[in-house]
Amino acid sequence: MIQTMTAGRAVLLKVFDLDSNVWNQRIFRNEVGLAFGLTRPGFANTYGEIDFYAIMLTITIARYFGMKTATAFVINYWRRWLEGLALAEHTKRARRGANHLEEICFVIGVDAEGGSEVEIGECEKIYNKFVGAGMLAFPIPLDLVLRRLRNAAKKAGVSLPKQFTPGDPESPEFQQWIEEIKQYTKFAEMRGGGASRVKKRKAKATA
């Protein structure tokens, strides 16, 4: 199984407290990024836990860059944030949770011209690297995104899997999963779920 859970559109709207018309508008404006770089699921109105995570990550990034740019980040860098999520779930850390800067982060660095770079790893190290290079740095703790998703699902009465990824990024289980994902995305793209490769946008922070 590529994703453990199967949820319909009504469940998705309930978890994210969205009106159906708002969701339709986001789809129309290309402001929806799902799992594995897709904009639509392989099967119509059928979503899994990684789709839910991608939506929550988009919402979190959008606080800094707006929905359209956030969607582009989630789609274009799906493999990186998925590996980061796997690290966050499967890597034991001495002081994990004590400080967001010690967690595994999706860090966006923005230069003076609006160009951007993305790295995954320990928040503080990457943050300092970007700032040292004269960039603005926006660290997104992947554990925090997961906690926000779990809280929203709990409030909506929706059960999520205990873990979203099968192992750390170097594990055979994760590598096999990636191969299965590649086959799934080919299938989904044939059914019109491909992202038609969202262009990288100038990363202008809004806050």
Q: Three-state DSSP class for 121?
A: strand
Residue 203 to residue 171: CA distance in whole angstroms: 33
The pLDDT tens digits of the residues spanning 139-162 come to 999 999 999 999 999 999 999 999
Residue 88 to residue 146: CA distance in whole angstroms: 10
- What is the pLDDT at residue 187? 87
Residue 195 lies in a domain: no
Give me the domain span that covers residue 170. 7-190
Helices 49-65 + 78-90 axis angle, to 10: 110
- How many folded domains does the chain comprise? 1
The pLDDT tens digits of the residues spanning 9-21 come to 999 999 999 999 9
User: Is 123:100 a contact under the CB 8 Å cutoff?
Assistant: yes
User: pTM of the entire structure?
Assistant: 0.90
Strand partners, 120: 106
HEC string for 19-30? CHHHHHHHHHCC
Residue 80 lies in a domain: yes
Whether residue 103 has pLDDT greater than 90:
no
Question: What is the arithmetic mean of pLDDT over 30-39?
Answer: 95
- What is the pLDDT at residue 181? 96
Residue 202 lies in a domain: no
Tokens 């873990």, located at residue: 163
Residue 205 lies in a domain: no
